[in-house]
Structure 1
């Protein structure tokens, strides 16, 4: 298994919403509330979010499901925003495990939530505080993201 990069989310990220979940039955409400929050903030931006809400809802569901199933309650889901990116931060209270990418498991063995997050997000990372373990993912306009300077090779 491969480990995720360890770092906090972008330091300038501002908290927009916080949801606290205790059971998987609350995931449906989370999805609807996250869609509504993103729609609200889309109206405040200069352009549409395209598929960002769909990608974020899918990743939020996967990460929150993992936190509820394998972590210690409560699970906290935060929606943050920087100048150009939305940040999804999912925390649980299990400090005994380190998030790992399940890249060597058979496809039907599960454990693909972090790989899915990496596929749909700009960046994915994790960090721990004294009480919580956080997995975060950033989402933004692909054009904006793709326009970032890339390292050159010679």
Structure 2
């Protein structure tokens, strides 16, 4: 894992997230385009249905992974909608072992920031939440888009164990 201990103390000031690409082993299974934050409720429902469908995780219990994925997807998509440039696209990929969430927008200039110490209710903790709930998180740009991504386990334990 390329990240520092996400459960440690927060820095006093905001800091940039180091640029990195996700592993290339993922195949996209679903994509959502979001125009406004009102699209988030539908995307959250559909993402949860996709990762808990019998074809996605047969005979496996993923614990809180699906809910964590929905929370992180919502946080990253909200950041893109609030701070990025349209279009905002959320993609779900899998390699059968892990899931990849990728949120992209067209703002190539801004750098995703990890929130430092802030007053309660000040916001800005989306990437911190992503770091705490995912296996890995990063960002990169290509010719037209900025991507922020997070990896989650797709394999759980057998049902009933």
TM-score (norm 1): 0.86
Contact 1:10 1:82 in 2 (8 A): no
Counterparts of 1:134-153 in structure 2 under 5 Å?
A: 134-140=147-153
Structure 2 CA distance for aligned equivalents of residues 126 and 107 of structure 1: 26
2:43 is matched with which residue? 30
| Corresponding position of 1:128 | 141
Q: Unmatched 5+ residue regions in structure 1?
A: 145-154
Counting matched residue pairs gives 144
Deviations 1:20-57 (A, max 9, x none): 00111100000011011111266544512211110000
Distance between the aligned counterparts of 1:27 and 1:44, measured in 2?
23
Structure 1's 57 and 97: CA in aligned 2 closer, same or farther, altered over 3 A? same
Please tell me the root mean square deviation across aligned C-alpha atoms, in Å.
2.0
Q: Secondary structure at the match of 1:15?
A: strand
> Quick check: 122-131 or 96-105, which moved more?
96-105
Give ranges in structure 2 of 5+ residues lacking alignment: 1-13
With normalisation by structure 2, the TM-score equals 0.82
User: Quick one: which of 33, 39, 56 aligns to 2:52?
Assistant: 39
Query: Could you tell me how far 1:141 is from its partner in structure 2?
Result: 6.4
- Tell me whether 104-113 or 89-98 shows the greater mean CA deviation: 104-113
Report which structure shows greater RCO (CA 8 Å, sep ≥6). 2
